[in-house]
Amino acid sequence: MAAVALFLTHLINLFTHLAFFGHWSWEACAPSENSLGGWVMFVPVLGGLLVGIMARFGSKAIRGHGIPEAMEQILQNRSRIPARLTWLKPLSAAISIGTGGPFGAEGPIIATGGASGSLVGQIFSTTAMERKILLAAGAAAGMSATFGSPVSAVVLAIELLLFEFKPRSFVPVALASVTAASARNIWLPTKPMFSVAEITPVHLAELSFYLALGALVGVIAVGITRSIYWIEDQFEKLPVHWMWWPALGAVVVGIIGYWQPKTLGVGYDNISNILNASLPLGLVVSLCLLKFISWSVALGSGTSGGTLAPLLTFGSGIGLLLGNAGGWALPVLHVQPHLAALVGMAALFAAASQALFASVIFACETTGQMQALLPLLAGCSTALVTAKFLYGNSIMSEKIARRGVSVPSEYSSDVYAHTRVAEVMDTQAPVIASQMPIQELISQLASHDSELNQHQAYLLVGDEGQLEGIITRGDLVKMVELADLQQPVRRFASKNLIVIFPEDTLHTAVEKLLRHRIGRLPVVKSENPSCLIGYLSRADILSARQRYYEEELQPETGWLAQGMGINGLRIPLFPFSNKRKEDPAYDSEN
């Protein structure tokens, strides 16, 4: 993936040279240095037209910034990404960015890495889970090779693609990310992606400023997300085929690029300049505002490009402006403007993507400034809380959520994986003597007072209490047609029993129920499988989930409430959680 990332970077450079300077070169260049004059407005339009044609006749999936599409394939299509996207996505992104599109290369590279991993999983015989891991490994490798940030690439894959935190998943992803970062160091300098002036330790009063900065950035992130999808909705209303939308959006890109050339292309140099506070504040305001308009219209039009670099630009600019304002209004805080820019950059990334830890680690890795860890964690946390409270979905998940796809956002331990069978099993198993006549069993079931009516299956035990078989109500229906109902039930019972042990987890029990397509399990001693000690039904298994909800939602009276003689006094933590807000049990408790 390091080679793919390097090739895509060179491909973007090539298209930039061809489109803005008219010659062939693989060297890095800035489209803002062109001398096309007014003709520069037509370059993005040509790129948008080519991308629209590629999407129309190649694959519609190249539209967008890549990560939401990868998430959708994981959640809806068993991590199968069409093979043609491995070359269509990077090519379309290179054309879009190379002709002035205000995007970052990281989104298409991540999407290309994910498509490559998925392709490997389709070539070889793999499970859907293994394909998902390969997809996430490819995506993480792509990000690691782009920014030289192996740890944040792994964390981003966990937070946005894997939807789980297990060694089986993150170890392969980590190895892929490390390999890509190591290969990157062979071809590119090993210095951090962005250079930032030295950051001094932050005291408590200054830390409060970054908490407030994060909250404000969280509000801005929600506005950015809403505006992107509002613009997308407006394009949906146009009376022209969607193939033409990228070209129409590129008209805005070209006009803005003419008046402010720095808005064209990736703009990583703009991020570095803002982080170092080396640009006039007026230029920072115009750059961020105009780039936002250009990027939001282009992305809303459905062209191919990434979101991370623009978000980093906006966030760093907002942070720098707020840092200067805070230093002027509250000089006692000694706010460091370049640190405020770094916190703003990471906070906007965290709030917009809702990937908290990836954002914090990314900012540290790409700048090498570990002194910024505390203010980064503070600012990103409040930004995420604010954005989550105001708007449930992220800029990554909103697109697929609109299509009815539920995106996991909260990862917790599986209650079935750490609950033992002995904790929930029914010790009063529904047992009958194996010699009981069929007629007698039917008579007992006909009585409303019989405890057997509470169950759908019955365990057969011999004279010495040993387990001999199981019979269901469905079996009894078939027996009614028999001429001789005095025959013992043992004759018609199933003797090939699937059993479970009390020390087994409910995860093991669920696997057995699904594999054998049954609805209950006899619980027996592991040292003596014929000794029945309990009964495990689907309802018993669900009771573990009920206990989990009680721990999650039912408040317990604390010492303060007890001392004050008040029942139910509680402080609701994390009120931004959608799950808790929508849960009837939560509403009834509050």
Better-predicted residue by pLDDT, 222 or 193: 222
> Residue 586: its pLDDT value, please?
39
Helices of type H across 240-355: 245-259, 268-275, 281-300, 308-329, 337-353
Are 129 and 348 in contact by the 8 Å Cβ rule? The answer is no
Q: Label residue 188 by pLDDT band (50, 70, 90).
A: confident
User: In this model, does residue 101 exceed pLDDT 50?
Assistant: yes
Are 316 and 199 in contact by the 8 Å Cβ rule? The answer is no
> Residue 312: its pLDDT value, please?
94
> Residue 484: its pLDDT value, please?
67
> Residue 154: its pLDDT value, please?
94
**Domain ranges, ordered by start, for the chain:** 2-187, 204-401, 421-543, 554-589
> Residue 185: its pLDDT value, please?
84
- Which DSSP state fits 315? H
How high is the mean pLDDT of the chain? Answer: 86
> What is the percent of the chain where pLDDT is above 70?
92
Q: Label residue 572 by pLDDT band (50, 70, 90).
A: low
Q: Which CATH number fits domain 204-401: 2.60.120.10, 1.10.3080.10, 1.10.3720.10, 1.10.1670.10?
A: 1.10.3080.10
**Mean pLDDT, residues 331-352 taken together:** 92
> What is the percent of the chain where pLDDT is above 90?
40
* Domain 204-401 in the same topology as domain 2-187: yes
Give pLDDT tens digits for 265-286: 888 889 999 999 888 999 999 9
Q: Which helix (H) or strand (E) holds 108?
A: helix 106-123
> Residue 582: its pLDDT value, please?
44
**Mean pLDDT, residues 384-409 taken together:** 84
Instruction: State CA 405 to chain mean position distance.
Output: 12
Predicted TM-score (pTM) of the model is 0.81
Mention the CATH class of domain 2-187: mainly alpha
Where residue 410 falls (left for φ over 0; alpha for ψ -120 to 50; beta otherwise) is beta
Q: Looking at the structure, give the CATH architecture of the domain made up of residues 421-543.
A: Roll (3.10)
How far, in Å, CA of 229 to CA of 392, rounded? 14
Where residue 104 falls (left for φ over 0; alpha for ψ -120 to 50; beta otherwise) is beta
**Mean pLDDT, residues 312-336 taken together:** 90
User: In this model, does residue 486 exceed pLDDT 70?
Assistant: yes
Give pLDDT tens digits for 226-257: 999 999 999 999 999 999 999 999 999 999 99
Give pLDDT tens digits for 103-157: 877 777 888 888 888 889 899 888 999 999 999 999 899 889 888 899 999 999 9
Half-sphere exposure of 174 (CA within 13 A, CB side): 9
**Mean pLDDT, residues 401-428 taken together:** 82
Q: Label residue 583 by pLDDT band (50, 70, 90).
A: very low
SS3 at position 523: strand
